[in-house]
Structure 1
């Protein structure tokens, strides 16, 4: 069984590997906020356990064993977040730190029961897909709102990131998953967008925010 620190490394590698197969030591170091020598030491340990592929001075990647182990950690995290929101009434901005702790609980039975009680949700409260019991995951094909043009109607389906500050910002704008949005105008200079949704006839969002709003087309 992997230690909590090892699980944190695996989850970070899993996240950094989305859309690519290999990760640099420096990327992993920055993600975990630890030094390169510390990362090197842990990576060697994970390699010994058959969880990563790594050669000195070269990028590293998860083995199939490591990928599955990481996916199951992500599963526990995302199921916990969904359970806290759906069954316990937490806000989507309140659940990350709690899930960070519970993801290390070594009980597949507990998380399978959570899954069952929620009727097997496919995504977490932020729209990120939840891996199944075997560690398989169906990645979504949503696109950033910033890629769409004026007049387009879309629906907010997921978030590019889910920091507490970002979620609180979206709360303040009354913008949540499932909200239908119409792009009213785009500022040529900085790419900011004026959006219309629900009771908001005209709300301006920066390009950076729009890049983190993942949407699907409506109609």
Structure 2
């Protein structure tokens, strides 16, 4: 699949649908309202674009029931997701970007780079399987291997896990978690759920540094773990 066959807008929509559905059940769909919010456009613009991409056989769209990807749309989406995540990885590892800075930069670059450059980057980086936030990087033939991870908030008090993914949905939350020392591969334990304070009490350790405290529920919702 050559993403140059599509407009940048189409590329963005297919990647957005994939990203929204990546960590939810396979049969789920994303609403056009959520897509509009993610892409920073008005609801009517999102609906019109989704309908157009559906007519082109790229999206599976039913009004009031949400949006999914057709097989053809999924193939294009995976190419764009691969580009984006390899670029993020290169920006962090090769150019020293912080993990909360790379998303927007990769968004700009992903439409312009060639497939040759992406394959060279993949080789240069040692064929990484995850990006700086823990999201799986699709292989060149469209395979995706994700860890068996669950939201941190789904752990009961006393349960532990290892951080496998931290969503990049909010750079502020990324900075907060990083400042605490909660990063990929950190060991975390839930000591209590604190609904009245809208927080979770945790202990964690990473690279020999340990910490404990309360993390607000929104920041905690960004974290996915594999159960210990």
TM-score, normalised relative to structure 1: 0.86
1:142, distance to aligned residue in structure 2 (A)? 0.6
CA distance in structure 2 between the partners assigned to 1:153 and 1:54 by the alignment = 39
Match of 1:115 among 114, 122, 131: 122
Partner of 2:151: 144
Structure 1 position 212 matched with structure 2 position 222: yes
The 3 A distance-change label for structure 1 pair 32 and 203 is same
Deviations 1:167-199 (A, max 9, x none): 111122122111112333443644633322234
* SS of residue matched to 2:95: coil
What is the CA-CA distance between 1:106 and the residue it aligns to? 4.6
Query: Using the alignment, how far apart are the partners of 1:22 and 1:185 within structure 2?
Result: 32
In the alignment, does 2:17 pair up with 1:13? yes
**Distance between the aligned counterparts of 2:98 and 2:129, measured in 1?**
19
Query: What corresponds to 1:68 in structure 2?
Result: 75
Change (3 A) 1:189 1:117: same
Q: Which runs of 5 or more structure 1 residues have no equivalent in the other structure?
A: none
Root-mean-square deviation (CA, aligned residues, Å) is: 2.3
How many pairs does the alignment contain? 218
| Deviations 1:102-126 (CA, angstroms, capped at 9, x unpaired) | 1112511111111111111111000
| 4+ long deviations beyond 4 Å | 55-58
Distance in 2 (CA, whole Å) between partners of 1:58 and 1:127 is 30
Q: Distance in 1 between matches of 2:12 and 2:58?
A: 13
**3-state DSSP class of the match of 1:87?**
helix
Q: Is the aligned partner of 1:83 residue 2:90?
A: yes
Q: Which segments of 5 or more consecutive residues in structure 2 lack a partner in the other structure?
A: none
Q: SS where residue 181 of structure 1 aligns?
A: strand
User: In structure 2, the residue corresponding to 1:22 is in which secondary structure?
Assistant: coil
User: What do residues 63-109 of structure 1 show as CA deviations (whole Å, max 9, x unaligned)?
Assistant: 21111101111110111111111222221112111101111125111
Normalising to structure 2: TM-score of the pair? 0.83
Say which one has the larger Rg: 1
2:95 and 2:193 mapped to 1: Cα distance?
Answer: 39
The 5 Å alignment of 1:26-175 reads: 26-54=33-61, 59-175=66-182
